[in-house]
Structures are given as C-alpha cells and as structure tokens.
C-alpha cells in the first residue's frame, strides 16, 4: 500500500463513525483506563454493574438490567429519555461514566457537546486530569481528537474539534457561554456547585438543557452530582423531577429484592464497625457486604415514581461500591464519628449515602417565623422602638425598601416594607424614595421619628445610579454599600472613596462605598430568629407585623448555611427581605450609630427624647395621633408588603408631603425633662424635629 492509499485509509477511519452501539458496549470495546487510574486497563462493566443501567438510559436504548416491575422481565424502553440525573456518593465510578458518555458521543453519532462545570478552573482541571488521559489511552478518541499541543491544531484546552462537531468546556458562571450554541449532548458536572441564577437569566441547568431542544429525543443530557443542602440541592430536585430509579439487590437468604437504605437496614455494634450487617426488610436476616454484593448478577434498576416523561433519575449511594472501594466497616466508622461531629455527619450523608443534609439550626422555616408575628400595624412605632434606619435593595425595575426599628439590646422591628416601582436609571423611583425617607413617622407619644441612616445596595447593574443618589445625600445619612468579597468580614467595614478628580486621584469628599460582611450578618440574623423560637414573646429579638405577607417571610428565610462549603446557599430565587435585614443591621453597626456599643445610659437618653414619660400635670393631654400609612399620597398603591409606585405615575407622584398627623401636637412644656434632644456621648446625632 502506497503512502497515498495509507493516508486516505487513515482519513476514512477518522471520519467513519463507529457502529451505533450503546455507551455500555462502547466502554467495554474501546475504553482504556489510564495508568494513573485505581484499576488501569480495559474497562469492565462487570466491575461496576450498577452503571450499565444508567448508561443504557443515557444511550436511549432498551435495557435488560432495568425493569418496569419486579416480575416484568421485558427489556425496559429508554427511547423517551432526554435527561439523565445521577445523585451519587463518592467512589462509585460516576465521573468515569460521564467520560464514557463523552467518548461515545464523539465517536458514534457525533454532534456538538457542551460540558458545564462550576468554574473555569474546574473545566481546565477536568480536561487535564480526565479527558486528556482518556483520549491518549483510548485509540478511538485519539484518532478523532487531535492533541491541542500539536502544531496547526485547532484545539485548545476548552475547545475540541472532531469530525462531526466540537466540544466546548464552559463554566456555569456565564450565561452567555451557556446560550451561545446549539448542542446535541450536554455533560453537567457536579451541578450542586452551580449558582442558582446566572446573570439574572435563570438556572444554568435549564439554560444548558435548552441548548439541546432542537434535537428532540435525539438529544442527551447527563447531570451528576454529590448532593449538598436539602431544598437547595440541584441534583435532588432533578432526581425528584425524574422517575427515581433504585438499584434492587436480592437478599442472600430469601432472595427478596430491595434497595439499600442505611437508616432502615444497616446495623452494627457501637464501637465495633466490623460487626456491620445489612438486614433484609423481608426475612430479617443480616448479611455481610460480600454476601450481598454476590447478588449483583441478579440486581436491576426499577423506577419508583412516574416522573416528567423525559427525565430518568438514579440514586446511588456508596453502599453499592464494588468490594474494596468503600468497605462497609469504614462507612460504619464514619457514621459513628458523625454522631459526635456535625462536619463528619455532613460528609457521611453527602458523600456516603448520597443524601442531602438538613440543618434545622442554619435554616429557618418561614411559617415558623410568621407564626411569631405581632399585632402591630405597619408604619407605626411599637413601644420600645427608639431609632429608625432604612435599607434599599436595587433591582432592574424597582427599589425595595425596609424601614427597621431598633430598641434596647438591639431589638429589631420591621416597621415597613415597600416596593417602589420604576427603573433605577430614571429619576422616578429615587424621587419617591426621597419622599419616603423625608417623611417622619409619629409614635404613640406624639414624637415624629425620622430615619437616621439609610443603606443603599450598589451591587448588580445599578452601581452608578446608586453612587449618584448617595453622593448628594451623604449629609442626610444615606450611604452606598456592597457585600464584601471575602468571608467572615465585619458586618460593616472601612469605606473606600469612589469618585476621582481630573488628575485621576481619589476625591475625599465624594461618595464612599461601605463593605458589608453579609455572611456574618446573616449568621447574626438567623441565630436571633432561632433563639426567638425558645423565648417568650416579650423577649423576642426580632419582631414582625401580622400585616406582612407570606412572600416577605419566604424571602426572609430564603437561604441556608452550608457548613460543608462554608457559605450561604439560596433555597429560593428571591431573597430581598433577607438582604434588607442585612443592610439595616449594617446601619445599626455604622460608626454614626454604633447601636451595638450602646450602654443602658445611652438607651435611656434616647428613650427620654423619643418616649417621654413625665409631663406637666396641668398641661393639656396630647391628642390622639392618627398615623398616615400612605406617605407618598395617591401615587402609591397601598398594599402592605408590596407598596408600589408605578413607573408612569411616579413622576407626578413627587408631591410635597404634609406632616403625618391629623391634629397638631402641642408644644413641649417646661415640665418636660428633655427639651434639647441632646444625647450624651453621641455627637448630638439624634435631634428633635
């Protein structure tokens, strides 16, 4: 054979697709595990038989190891499957399954592939540690995908070309990358590490799946992950969305098929993990690990739910790992250690049992908080509330505002929660905010209370608008804030100048940006909410009006602390109420207030001004005060918990606001103990208006 013929043969082999075989068969025929693998050499399905049923579903092929019911031996039809979700523990071969999926997709029925990772670093690491060793060791891939280091190669670390398509490796942090091209195949690695909402355009899983819609049932998406926090876990949600398949293994004694459930069947003597046995749910006999796993030859997958009609979901704990990979006695020791150490408990649940962790102390249920609401009206001042602050959260179409009240011991009230509709790039919502902040609220003693400080969030896409607003209102206590990048920072930190002079130097008299330790503040807030559950109402630290809607409490309890990752994870998309609580807490810690440093004498001085108890016995009593709950007038739709200014009406809504009382408050008499409003050691920041 001449050089030309040999060259043409090589080209023909490279572009000729393999036989249309499933992933399981492709793996045994082509996949070679590299030398650095725990078990290098030819792939053997018999080593991890539980992966075969998953690979069959991902291939869209009939499966002999999946059943409709225990007694139905017909091959299971997977032709309807588009999305496969694997909720898995560690050391089970799940990541290798994803590599097999990619390898088969390149060599058989090739098409564009999208591989999504939590970060760009994760994508580069997967390419270097997973894909490249597989490519070099597997001839079928080596023929089709050129080495990215070769001269004239069009391949890079994050983009691979091959006959029939290309593979892009992207991070889940950029919505544009997830939406940039149409693909037939998608690999979603460790989806619980993804952000819930990318660039405000939605869940990255949904964005990636939408890229495959043009291919209908020919598209295939494989999402796999170790689960994390309950109700936040993306893989758990995907599992519940699908048909929830379980791997049934026959009992070594009676033959009854069952899936492994640690909490029901696994038992051992305390302090003796080597005594671990799994007890049959039917006959009650306990058997060792090797006895159960001999039954893998007769084991099978079976759906336990109906599902959405396009998602096949699988749950696979480390209990199923092949002999020697994750011994049961080691798992028993980890389980026992987890009873004394919460970090080890989380690791065991997530990595061992493939279950989510529910930390009841770190996560508040909104119904529980709502039940503690107090019967005071919004935009009224409860007894004991001595100082007001405000917080503003900026969104693309509105400003959300919460007025917070503070009393002795940093006791906190939600005085009002308002939504001002309008694009922050226009003047309307800011003008409405001005009127809101300028309008005092009269307490039961006839004292008009004004907002002392107002924190405005500059995060998101409205940074310049916030700076422009705060710059001209610095003297009124309005300041810009932004969440600190680093963890465990103070609730409010040292400000930085943001304006520059014509010489490019920082302008000291311009707007300042105050960093807020959001994780620290959230810990304080949730700790207070948790403690209140055990206290009498009179001792509650955080108080809420019964006028607040359910949505407010859902937003307040929208996050949970993930101790395994040392971060706060969103359980719901909307969390504005929680953010506003954080910003109000930052106001309380601001150097101009420093409520956290108040002593009894300081509170007493403020109380004497705001809640005067001694008056001239011969003076006329103060008339009953009727509070105006609509300070913005007719431009505001009064709907507590969602007070909205419509954008088109907001310009005309900016009107002068009269004092918020229905009858004049009598002037103070000489018998009143405090006439100046001066508060000792507070630089006279609290003044009588």
Instruction: Give the pLDDT confidence of 169-209 residue by residue, as tens digits.
Output: 999 988 888 887 899 999 999 999 998 888 778 889 999 99
Given a contact cutoff of 8 angstroms between Cβ atoms, the answer to whether 582 and 672 are in contact is no
Report the pLDDT value the prediction gives residue 177, as an integer from 0 to 100: 83
* Domains of the chain, residue spans: 3-247+301-328, 376-653
Q: Which two tokens stand for residue 211?
A: 């890229």
Contact 247, 217 (CB under 8 A): no
Least confident span in 66-75, 300-309, 631-640: 631-640
pLDDT band at 151 (very low <50, low <70, confident <90, very high): low
Q: Supply the pLDDT for residue 259.
A: 98
Question: Which numeric CATH code is attached to 376-653?
Answer: 3.30.420
Which range, of 176-190, 535-549, 573-587, 619-633, averages the lowest pLDDT? 619-633
Instruction: Please answer whether residues 364 and 568 qualify as being in contact, where contact means their C-beta atoms are separated by less than 8 angstroms.
Output: no
The C-alpha atoms of residue 346 and residue 324 are separated, in whole angstroms, by 23
Q: What is the mean pLDDT of residues 447-462?
A: 93
**pLDDT value at residue 152:** 66
Q: Is the separation of the CB atoms in 542 and 529 below 8 Å?
A: yes
Confidence of residue 12 (pLDDT cuts 50, 70, 90): low
Give the side-chain half-sphere CA count within 13 A for 155. 20
Strands 257-258 and 245-250: antiparallel
- State the CATH class of domain 3-247+301-328: alpha beta
Report the pLDDT value the prediction gives residue 211, as an integer from 0 to 100: 92
Phi-psi region of 220 (alpha: psi -120 to 50; beta: other; left: phi over 0): beta
Q: Please state the rounded mean pLDDT for residues 318-336.
A: 96
What count of other Cβ atoms lies within 10 Å of the Cβ of residue 358? 12
Q: What proportion of the chain, given as a percentage, has pLDDT over 90?
A: 67
E-strand stretches of 172-228 = 185-189, 220-225
Q: pLDDT, tens digit, for every residue of 225-236?
A: 999 888 789 999
Rounded-to-5 percentages of helix, strand, coil across the chain: 35, 20, 45
User: CA–CA separation, 470 vs 464, rounded Å?
Assistant: 10
Q: Is the pLDDT of residue 589 over 80?
A: yes
pLDDT digits (tens, 9 = 90+) for 599-619: 999 999 999 999 997 654 444
Contact 213, 242 (CB under 8 A): no
Amino acid 614: pLDDT: 63
Q: For 439-453, give the DSSP string.
A: S-EE-TTS-EE-EEE
Provide the pLDDT confidence category of residue 637 given band limits of 50, 70 and 90: very low
pLDDT score recorded for residue 202? 84
Give me the percent of the chain exceeding a pLDDT of 70: 84
339-356 tens-digit pLDDT: 877 778 889 999 999 999
CA atoms of 85 and 399, how far apart (whole Å): 38
Asked whether 37 and 99 are in contact (CB, 8 A), the reply is no
What does the mean pLDDT of the chain come to? 86
Judged against a pLDDT cut of 70, whether residue 18 lies above it is answered with: no
- The token duo for 563 is 């101790």
Residue 146: how many other CB atoms lie within 10 Å: 17
């Amino acid at each position: 054979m001449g050089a030309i013929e040999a060259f043409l043969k090589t080209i023909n082999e490279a572009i000729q697709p393999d036989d249309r075989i499933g992933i399981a068969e492709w793996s045994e025929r082509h996949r070679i595990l590299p030398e650095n693998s725990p078990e290098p050499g030819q792939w053997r399905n018999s080593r991890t038989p539980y992966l075969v049923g998953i690979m069959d579903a991902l291939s869209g092929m009939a499966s002999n190891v999946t059943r409709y019911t225990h007694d139905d031996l017909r091959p299971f039809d997977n032709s309807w499957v588009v999305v496969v979700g694997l909720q898995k523990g560690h050391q089970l071969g799940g990541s290798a399954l994803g590599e097999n999926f990619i390898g088969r997709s390149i060599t058989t029925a090739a098409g564009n592939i999208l591989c999504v990772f939590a970060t760009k670093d994760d994508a580069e690491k997967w390419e270097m540690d997973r894909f490249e060793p597989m490519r070099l060791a597997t001839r079928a891939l080596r023929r089709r995908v050129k080495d990215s280091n070769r001269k004239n190669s069009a391949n890079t670390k994050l983009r691979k070309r091959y006959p029939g398509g290309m593979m892009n490796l992207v991070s889940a942090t950029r919505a544009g990358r997830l939406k940039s091209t149409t693909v037939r195949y998608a690999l979603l690695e460790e989806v619980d590490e993804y952000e819930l909402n990318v660039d405000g355009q939605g869940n990255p899983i949904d964005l990636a799946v939408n890229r495959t819609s043009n291919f209908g049932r020919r598209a295939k998406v494989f999402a796999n992950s170790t689960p994390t926090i309950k109700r936040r876990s993306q893989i758990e949600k995907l599992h519940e969305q699908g048909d929830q398949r379980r791997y049934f293994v026959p009992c070594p004694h009676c033959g009854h098929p069952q899936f492994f459930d640690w909490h029901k069947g696994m038992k051992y003597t305390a302090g003796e993990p080597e005594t671990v046995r799994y007890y049959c749910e039917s006959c009650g006999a306990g058997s060792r690990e090797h006895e159960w796993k001999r039954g893998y030859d007769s084991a099978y997958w079976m759906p336990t739910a109906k599902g959405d009609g396009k998602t096949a979901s699988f749950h696979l704990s480390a209990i199923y790992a092949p002999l020697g990979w994750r011994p049961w006695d080691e798992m028993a020791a980890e389980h026992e250690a987890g009873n004394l150490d919460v970090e080890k408990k989380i690791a065991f649940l997530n990595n061992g049992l493939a279950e989510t962790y529910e930390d009841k102390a770190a996560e508040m249920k909104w119904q529980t908080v709502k039940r503690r609401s107090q019967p005071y009206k919004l935009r009224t001042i409860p007894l004991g509330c001595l100082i007001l602050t405000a917080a503003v959260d900026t969104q693309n179409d509105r400003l959300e505002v919460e007025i917070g009240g503070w009393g002795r011991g940093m006791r906190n009230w939600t005085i009002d929660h308002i939504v001002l509709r309008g694009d922050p790039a226009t003047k309307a919502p800011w003008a409405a905010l001005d009127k809101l902040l300028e309008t005092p609220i009269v307490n039961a003693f006839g004292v008009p209370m004004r907002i002392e400080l107002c924190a405005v969030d500059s995060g998101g896409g409205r940074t310049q608008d916030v700076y422009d607003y705060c710059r001209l209102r610095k003297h009124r206590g309005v300041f810009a804030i932004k969440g600190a990048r680093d963890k465990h920072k103070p609730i409010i930190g040292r400000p930085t100048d943001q304006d520059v002079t014509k010489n490019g130097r920082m302008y000291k008299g311009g707007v300042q940006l105050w960093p807020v330790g959001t994780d620290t503040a959230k810990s304080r807030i949730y700790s207070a909410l948790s403690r209140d559950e055990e206290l009498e109402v009179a001792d509650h630290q955080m108080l809420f009006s019964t006028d607040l809607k359910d949505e407010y409490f859902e937003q307040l309890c929208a996050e949970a602390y993930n101790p395994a990752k040392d971060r706060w994870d969103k359980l719901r998309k909307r969390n504005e109420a929680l953010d506003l609580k954080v910003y109000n807490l930052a106001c309380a810690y601001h150097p101009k207030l420093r409520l956290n440093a108040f002593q009894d004498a300081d509170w007493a001085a403020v109380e004497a001004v705001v809640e005067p108890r001694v008056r001239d016995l011969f003076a006329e009593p103060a008339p009953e005060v009727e509070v105006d709950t609509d300070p913005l007038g007719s431009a505001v739709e009064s709907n507590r918990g969602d007070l909205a200014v419509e954008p088109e009406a907001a310009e005309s809504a900016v009107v002068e606001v009269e004092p918020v009382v229905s009858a004049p408050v009598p002037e103070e008499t000489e018998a009143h103990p405090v006439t100046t409003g001066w508060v000792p050691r507070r630089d006279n920041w609290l003044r009588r208006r």
